[in-house]
Structure 1
Amino acid sequence: MSHDESAHAGSDADVIARSVREPECFGLIWDRYAGDVHRFVMRRLGRDLADDVTAETFAAALRQRARFEPGRSARPWLFGIAANLIGKHRRTEIRGLRAVARLGIDPVERSWMSEGVEERVMAGSARPALASALAELASGDRHVLLLVAWADLTYAEVAEALGIPVGTVRSRLHRARQAVRRSLTHDPLTEPMLREVPTWTS
């Protein structure tokens, strides 16, 4: 199905409700969001796991579709499922971050370095410092920070995705940003990046 056809097939809630009776309709949700979910997973776990975790995310969503709440967007719901699955690969994520911090390059073909915010953030001398900071964050804080910075979710959407209050999102994000800022300001070469990418640090 083309992008235009998908866009005119109804809201996420309508499509998911219809898919309870007609499971093939759930393919529309894949068409709309699989690319975004795959990019997010790849940035966190690398190329080797991205395909499998993305497929697991949508398989889990398909199984849970009857419990999807009307009026919601599928995007935060899917990212919440993906974040939960990523959490099961925490050691892989930490190992990748520490490799970047140690070597200054991503051992999985620089899969973090796609486009937009993450390209600027991970560029040059800032990349090892940021990777080191991310590796040291608590898992919950890292989830919140990266759902905001890489998945571009709002605070309310992150709260919905993770099943936590918005106040908890704010406190975790503040704590994560403070930790990242402290790590980056240890190196004067990374200071310009703090001004250029406020999403991460303010």
Structure 2
Amino acid sequence: MSGPLNPGGDAGIIAGSLERPDLFAELYHRYAPDIHRYAARRLGDGAADDITADTFLSAFRTRSRYDLGRENARPWLYGIAANLIGKQRRAEVRALRALARTGNDPVAESWVDRADSRVTAQAAHTSLAGALASLSAGDRHVLLLVAWADLGYQEVADALSIPVGTVRSRLNRARRKVRGALGDLDPTLVHDIVPEAASHG
């Protein structure tokens, strides 16, 4: 640790919650809406409630192992959520493939429409869904943590416990696949869904 903990900071709250568990609720109030929004985009609103609850339950149970040198707990929480979502990978891929095939799926309303309000072409929706479904779980985690959770490369590395170089290579591979699938349908979608390295480098 580089200095005394800020009692109102994330690390300070986690440290304090070891003696006073009720303090941990502050992290829930800070980050639960973001985690829920991210889970809803990945799996739909129905599953998002459970993912959010399980994320914070797991975080609470493992808080004694949190690295207090990391002031911001967001990457840690997104990493837990990504692991939980990964356990439902078959459901996510099935929903994405259904959307790619038919253009209609319950998940579409919770993630595609919110991804970018300017995207209206159904072809772009179905192509994006197909591209996301074709990604490996690891590539999809990296891509969506950058695009939808707005995490930087180091934060994604922290969240997934992988080297920054792996984050970069996975993101580049995922970006190529998404761009290839979308072609020239909607360049703004590629920009908004898959940010350039310059914005997170």
TM bucket, shorter chain: 0.7 to 0.9
Give 2:167's aligned residue. 169
Looking at structure 2, the residues matched to 9 and 122 of structure 1 have their Cα atoms a distance apart, in angstroms, of: 43
User: Does residue 1:53 correspond to 2:51, yes or no?
Assistant: yes
Give 2:40's aligned residue. 42
1:14 counterpart SS class: helix
Query: Deviations along 1:57-91, whole A, 9 cap, x unmatched?
Result: 00000001111111311100000000000000001
2:78 counterpart SS class: helix
Gaps of 5+ in 2: 1-5
Gaps of 5+ in 1: 1-7
Looking at structure 2, the residues matched to 109 and 192 of structure 1 have their Cα atoms a distance apart, in angstroms, of: 19
Deviation at 1:200, TM superposition (A): 4.4
Give 1:4's aligned residue. none
Give 2:3's aligned residue. none
Give 2:85's aligned residue. 86
Conserved 8 A contact 1:122-1:130: no
Give 1:149's aligned residue. 147
Q: Classify 1:49/1:143 alpha carbon distance in 2 versus 1 (closer, same or farther; 3 Å).
A: same
Conserved 8 A contact 1:99-1:107: no
Runs of 4+ in 1 over 4 A off after TM superposition: none
Query: Deviations along 1:114-163, whole A, 9 cap, x unmatched?
Result: 64xx1248542311000000000010000000000000000000000000
2:110 counterpart SS class: coil
Looking at structure 2, the residues matched to 176 and 27 of structure 1 have their Cα atoms a distance apart, in angstroms, of: 35
Deviation at 1:166, TM superposition (A): 0.1
Query: Deviations along 1:12-43, whole A, 9 cap, x unmatched?
Result: 00000000000000000000000000000010
Conserved 8 A contact 1:26-1:62: yes
Q: TM-score, normalised on structure 2?
A: 0.87
Letter in 1 for 2:186: T
Looking at structure 2, the residues matched to 193 and 31 of structure 1 have their Cα atoms a distance apart, in angstroms, of: 31
2:111 counterpart SS class: coil
Looking at structure 2, the residues matched to 193 and 43 of structure 1 have their Cα atoms a distance apart, in angstroms, of: 16
1:18-29 correspondence to structure 2 within 5 Å? 18-29=16-27
Give 2:127's aligned residue. 129
> How many residue pairs get matched?
190
Give 2:116's aligned residue. 119
> Could you say what the CA RMSD is over the residues aligned between the two structures, in angstroms?
2.0
Letter in 2 for 1:175: R
1:21 counterpart SS class: coil
Q: Classify 1:199/1:169 alpha carbon distance in 2 versus 1 (closer, same or farther; 3 Å).
A: same
